[in-house]
Every structure is written in structure tokens, then in C-alpha cells.
Amino acid sequence: RHPSHAPIKEIVMINVKRRVLLNVEMENVYVTSVQNNVCDFEKRGECGWSDLRAISPQFNNISVASKKGQDNRYGLSRMSPRSYSGLLRRASISGPISLSVDLFPSHNLDVKICVHSLKTCQSQRVEARAWNRVTAKIRMKSTDKLFLLFYNKAVIEKTIAIDNILLESGDCQSIPPNAVTRRRV
């Protein structure tokens, strides 16, 4: 066969609300899907996460706040001593899961990311008075519940600001945001 008649492989990466990786080889098409969900609190309660206070009064309330004269909104919780605040996402989520969230606590704080129930968790500690990015990689086929828990184990009241919760799920490769590239192999 002449080289100009060889099959052409084309890889196309498209970023919309849902990122899709297409691998085209002759007549075979393989699709790998990535679901992205970003909660930046700008749309009030429309980001898919629920306050755990609505499920049980043992949790502290998380409300939407903004600084006076600014449009940027974020989640805010005032935590009593030895108490929890948290968020729950109820949806069918395909694995693997990548989750990140920006946190600004008034004091050092423990963060737990739990799957299925409050018993299967990853824990991290965040530093006081600085924006911290907490990330977790969760390898599993799927879940219908994902929890973000903030634990104040001290005997003093703490406050935490929460912003930019990014949930990426599905079998995917890391594709940079807004990437649209074409390459012939």
C-alpha cells in the first residue's frame, strides 16, 4: 500500500459543559466521557450540592454570602465547638472521581470527603487564614452520594468560607480547560 492510503487516526478534544474525547479510526468511533460540575455559589442553590443541615439539625448551617459591595459569592459556615458542617451531592456519579474545593478557615480545620456514606472517607487538614485547595481522587465505578464534611474538633467557634467546588467524573484523561486540539497520528 502507498503511504497516502494508510488509515488516518484523528484525536479531537472538545470542551463544552461536558468534555468528550473522540478517537476516530476509519469507521470505528470510541467515545470517552467526562462530566464536569463547578459550584462557585454564584447561582445560589443551583449547583447540585445540598446543605447537610437540611438532613439533620446536628450539622451547622452553610449559607451563601458575599462581601459588602462585591458580587463574588461563596459558601459560609459558622461552626460551634466540636461540630460538623457539610454538603451533600446526590446524583449518579460515574467513577473515577476527582474533586477539589477551595476553603478559607478562620482556624485549622479537618476536611473529610466521603463516598456512599459518612463511613468511607478521605481526610485532610487545612491551614488557617489562607485559601487552601483540597483535592481528592476517588477510584470507584460509581456512587449516588458524595459528602464534603468540615469538622471543628476544637472547643472554640470557627468560620469557614467555601468556593469553587469542582467535581470531575467519568473515565477520562486529563484534558486542559478550554482545550480544542487536533492532531494526526
Residue pLDDT, tens place only, 79-118: 999 999 999 999 999 989 999 999 999 999 999 999 999 9
Judge whether residue 42 has pLDDT over 70.
Answer: yes
> Where residue 172 falls among pLDDT bands split at 50, 70, 90?
low
Average per-residue pLDDT for the chain:
77
Range with lowest mean pLDDT among 6-20, 64-78, 103-117, 156-170: 6-20
pLDDT of residue 33: 64
Question: How far is 177 from 185, CA to CA, in rounded Å?
Answer: 23
Q: What three-state secondary structure class fits 4?
A: helix
Choose among 103, 148, 142: nearest CA to 126.
Answer: 103
